[in-house]
């Protein structure tokens, strides 16, 4: 691996490459074992360089943003985790267009919109994710979605080419885009907003913040809504109707406040959380014949593990 490290160091400055870094400090579930190499690039050239080095040396790699939609195995990740986040967050505003690098959080972009009296981003103020993940998953809440405001996105292809794709060509639908299917890495996005009254914008953001605090278990680590909404159903209601509100495995629990959330009540392991998610899937399908698809992405789990055998079917 020394050859890989040497190549990596030609692209990434000292201090932005960490070794055996616990992923529990970089995910909203607050669980996860160590990544062999944890890299925080500061430019698109550094992103490309790190990925190409990993490919050349056959080092497994995984790209993350804010870590808000991930469950990392207790064993961690044997390879490189590339965090497009801390060092890649620049936001600029030009008239009513906001350009944000993929590592910027949606909360920061929404705050920037408010500061420039731009409306359309209010729904995103409380979504705990990054711009890159939001584009890839077409994040949404409270009747708002990224596709409603996205102008275009700059991505890097698997060959290392930088291209800009109009929103209309990203195949954006409910919690879906073509980003993962085409092996793109989102580098930045442009959002087209509208002039608005700052008082009304702030009022709407405050209203949504109150609703989140009232209805969601924000006091516990989680990955937000654990499951995608099955067609014709609401995930939380299905889980509650299956008698699973408060269902607990070790330190993991189906929230008693909102059944659509799996939370870390304290001391949970990734295996406990994954097993709980799999049990919810199994029990809901047994009772209602509805297959629940997780929004959470699983990193570092091996096929055939207790939790993932069901999850990966």
> Which residue numbers are catalytic?
175, 225, 295
Residues recorded for the chain:
313
Helix (H, G, I), strand (E, B) or coil at 175: coil
150 and 189 in contact (C-beta within 8 Å)?
Answer: yes
Cα torsion 187, 192, 197, 202: sign? negative
Q: Which residues contact 105 (CB under 8 A, 6 or more apart)?
A: 66, 89, 128, 129, 130, 131
Q: Please report the beta strands in the chain, taking only residues with DSSP state E, as ranges in sequence order.
A: 17-22, 34-39, 61-64, 70-72, 77-83, 91-94, 97-101, 118-119, 140-141, 144-145, 150-156, 162-166, 185-192, 194-195, 248-249, 252-254, 262-264, 297-299
Cα torsion 176, 179, 183, 186: sign? negative
The backbone region for 308, taken as left when phi is positive above 0, alpha when psi lies in -120 to 50, beta otherwise, is alpha
Listed residue (24, 25, 23, 63) closest to 47, CA to CA: 63
Phi and psi angles of residue 18, each rounded to the nearest 5 degrees, phi first: -115, 150
């Amino acid at each position: 691996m020394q050859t890989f490290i040497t190549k990596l160091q030609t692209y990434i400055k000292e201090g932005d490459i960490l070794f055996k870094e616990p992923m529990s400090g970089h995910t909203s579930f607050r669980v996860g074992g160590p990544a062999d190499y944890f890299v925080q690039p500061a430019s698109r050239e550094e992103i490309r360089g790190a990925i190409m080095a990993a490919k050349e040396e056959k080092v497994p790699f995984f790209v993350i943003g804010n870590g808000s939609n991930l469950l990392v195995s207790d064993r961690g990740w044997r390879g490189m985790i590339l965090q497009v986040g801390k060092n890649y967050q620049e936001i600029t505003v030009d008239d009513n267009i906001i350009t944000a690098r993929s590592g910027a959080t949606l909360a920061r972009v929404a705050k920037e919109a408010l500061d420039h009296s731009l409306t359309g981003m209010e729904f995103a103020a409380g979504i705990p994710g990054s711009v890159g993940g939001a584009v890839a998953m077409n994040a949404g809440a409270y009747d708002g979605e990224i596709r409603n405001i996205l102008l275009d996105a700059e991505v890097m292809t698997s060959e290392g080419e930088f291209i800009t794709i109009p929103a209309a060509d990203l195949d954006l639908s409910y919690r879906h885009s073509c980003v993962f299917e085409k092996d793109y890495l989102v580098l930045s996005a442009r959002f087209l907003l509208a002039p608005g009254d700052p008082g009304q914008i702030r009022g709407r953001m405050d209203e949504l913040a109150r609703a989140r605090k009232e209805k969601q278990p924000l006091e516990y680590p989680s990955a937000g809504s654990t499951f995608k909404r099955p067609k014709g159903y609401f995930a939380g209601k299905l889980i509650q109707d299956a008698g699973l509100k408060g269902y607990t495995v070790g330190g993991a629990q189906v929230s008693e406040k909102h059944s659509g959330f799996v939370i870390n009540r304290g001391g949970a392991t990734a295996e406990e959380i994954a097993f709980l998610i799999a049990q919810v899937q199994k029990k809901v399908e047994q009772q209602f014949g509805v297959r629940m698809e997780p929004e959470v992405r699983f990193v570092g789990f091996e096929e055939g593990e207790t939790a993932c055998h069901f999850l990966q079917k």
